[in-house]
Chains A and B, each alone.
Chain A
Amino acid sequence: AQKVTQAQTEISVVEKEDVTLDCVYETRDTTYYLFWYKQPPSGELVFLIRRNSFDEQNEISGRYSWNFQKSTSSFNFTITASQVVDSAVYFCAPLMRGGGSEKLVFGKGTKLTVNP
């Protein structure tokens, strides 16, 4: 089965705290892409990062960083020095391939609330 588990349903932190959002996935594909999206209250899913399964080097983009571990099928996301504007629902989503097509398989999401 292809599925994604985001075990943390909701997280609440105080501004400037670091926070890590967990993601564990299952896939039959030997090569694949992994994505993180952010969904603010407006509803639009905002692309954050794409990672391919070939590259296990961790990535940092400003206050965001991602830890990809293929051996444990995990792709965790850390926000350093969180800000109120980071409050949103965050989704992890592998891109699954099948039948000549591709689709994102989303986790249930983690709702992050950053309090001032």
Chain B
Amino acid sequence: KAGVTQTPRYLIKTRGQQVTLSCSPISGHRSVSWYQQTPGQGLQFLFEYFSETQRNKGNFPGRFSGRQFSNSRSEMNVSTLELGDSALYLCASSRERRELFFGEGSRLTVL
């Protein structure tokens, strides 16, 4: 069965722009989580969605937002990009309280 699909895989933006990343979970998985990975901070939890509702949010500014659609696909948006937002953004899907399966990530570079 298909894994977690994230698009785009790579993108370059400039400061002040906004970006939208997309995640298609494994079929049947209703929970989608987003993580940011940077060399300095490592893997940090952004937020989790379940049945179109945000259930949990990490310690990130309001410029980071997300949503989940009725088909469980999720998007995350970062507005007013800063250099420090350059990172690998990983999406994971799971069934309730089961292992998280990750996509290959979207690598964002902010210039």
Contact = CB atoms under 8 A, between A and B. Distances in A.
B90 interface: yes
Contacts of B58: 103
Contacts of A33: 97
B92 interface: yes
B104 A42 contact: yes
Which of under 10, 10 to 19, 20 to 34, or 35 or more describes the interface residues of B? Answer: 20 to 34
A106 B43 contact: yes
Contacts, number: 59
A91 B100 CA distance: 13
- A interface secondary structure, majority: strand
B105 A101 contact: no
Contacts of A98: 56
Interface of B: 33, 35, 42-45, 48, 50, 55-56, 58, 88, 90, 92, 97-105, 107
Interface of A: 33, 35, 37, 42-47, 50, 91, 93, 95, 98-109
